[in-house]
Amino acid sequence: MLNLKDQSLLRDSGYIAGEWVGADSGKQFDVFNPATGEKITSVPDMGGADARRAIDAAESAWAEWRAMPARKRSKLLRAWHDLIKANAEDLALIMTSEQGKPSKEAFGEILQGASFVEWFAEEAKRIEGDIIVPAANDRREFVLKQPVGVVAAITPWNFPSSMITRKISPALAAGCPVVLKPAEDTPLSALALAELAHRAGFPKGVISILPASHGAEVGAEFTSNAKVRKLSFTGSTEVGKLLMRQSADTVKKVSLELGGNAPFIVFDDADIKAALSGAMTMKFINAGQTCICANRILVQDGIYDKFVEQMQQAVANLNPGHGVEEGVNMGPLINQKALDKVEGLVADAVDQGAKVVHGGKRHALGQTFYEPTVLTEVSTDMKVFSNEIFGPVAGLYRFSSEEEAVKLANDTPYGLAAYFYTQDMGRLWRVGEALEYGMVGANEARFTNEIMPFGGMKESGIGREGSKYGIEEYLEAKYLCLGGI
């Protein structure tokens, strides 16, 4: 049993139509702590029948929810926000226990997740259309913004709280009910948020949470059910493409936040201290398990050796361990499959000539811990260049010119996030505009917040989350012409 102040936040049931329920099949699956291997609890293993039931409940709730005044929807979101903040310590402990990230990181994610709820509570009152200058004097022409309908959402395990609020909050603000399937590794954070939404007073059917150990059956129902008018997914590009194909038959509106292969460019004229700090943050946060992690660190020849030396020293100060322990600043990988992948990528790089200057193997802590690792002399023909690492492995590449750096950075089918450091004002504009990414940090690595549009280009996805643009993903623009004036 987790040492929570409020034990009722640790739920072991699904949430459909305002009720805590088991799976129709009666099946369950276990949730484990990746740092210790210990079982936390068991939750219902929901499938297609459960998804249909939740979708039907959402469809039934939609008419009342979309007709509710925006100010009232806003108040419910605000109440949910306040409950999340009031229970932040317990929510962080749940997250650390099922996902592994250090307590400080988990607490920060809870607060960031709450910020999305707060932001869209306000945006609910700012959904505005347009009055168009009429084409003739006998008519009046308008554009109305209306909710798209029932939303199905699928979220990942690496940010099991903020990814949920970033999807649910704008949907609810727009007037759409939501059915959500959280990642199988981290359902407890989602269920805790559902408990707080229940306390906040959301009507039955407006929010449903479906834990499932194998998402294909639930995903197939989401994509094939005509009552679902919008699908929002965060996860791998491979699965995103599949869901997009499956959604084509019912022509759903889709938002996809998919894989990344973020370059982190350090030019000769950069503030090395600032660049190193940014690289350490964006490489090792969440043990490297984020879609916007610095996947390829490109360092210009003139400072390459100096940067390697300083990064090696900084990485040596990292302290992996169980996230609830004092002083730990890096947790484990999520599961054995993730550990095997990282191990394979490092082995491939070493076989092709990369040098391990720190780490490079499984950690003595056991379980799914991997040593924070620095690889030098990495080249473009190694798998670490083209694959999303999703682990604590920093691969450093040399480059000579600005043109070469931009070419290397853009040499990927992905386009989610990119970072670069320079003190040249002209280069700030040139490189910032040349990088083919949806989000670019220039001399700044920590840029995620509720006011920015989060999303990518190319095979990194479709649509934006957060910001004033995020609510547009859940709205339809309707043209209305009034004749006979």
Degrees (nearest 5) of the Cα angle 176, 177, 183? 120
Looking at the DSSP assignment, which residues form a beta bridge with residue 137? none
Whole-angstrom CA distances from 121 to 43, 78, 118, 165, 373 are: 30, 6, 5, 11, 42
Give dist(CA 384, CA 295) in Å, integer.
8
Q: In what order do the strands lie in the sheet with 139-147?
A: 130-132, 139-147, 475-483
Would you name the residues annotated as active-site residues? 257, 291
Cβ pair 234, 83 in contact under 8 A: no
| Residue 447 contacts residue 102 (beta carbons within 8 Å) | no
Give helix 70-86 / helix 103-123 axis angle, nearest 10°. 170
The DSSP call for residue 479 is: E
Amino acid letter, residue 13: S
Which residues sit opposite 39 in a β-bridge?
32
Q: Answer yes or no: are the C-beta atoms of 80 and 202 closer than 8 Å.
A: yes
> What is the rounded CA–CA span in Å between residue 299 and residue 415?
20
Give the integer Cα–Cα distance in Å for 230 and 255. 8
Taking each helix axis from N to C end, the angle separating 70-86 and 88-99, rounded to the nearest 10 degrees, works out to: 70
Q: Cα(379)–Cα(376) distance, rounded to whole angstroms?
A: 9
Beta bridge partners of 376: 355
The rounded distance, in Å, linking the Cα atoms of 152 and 158 is 19
CA-to-CA separations, 297 to 99, 161, 172, 264, 440, in angstroms, rounded: 26, 28, 39, 5, 15
Opening angle at CA 361, ends 359 and 364, nearest 5: 95
- Angle at alpha carbon of residue 437, lines to 275 and 108, rounded to 5°: 60
Nearest to 96 by CA among 189, 25, 224: 189
3-state secondary structure of 219: helix
Question: What does the alpha-carbon distance between residue 30 and residue 12 come to, in Å, rounded to a whole number?
Answer: 10
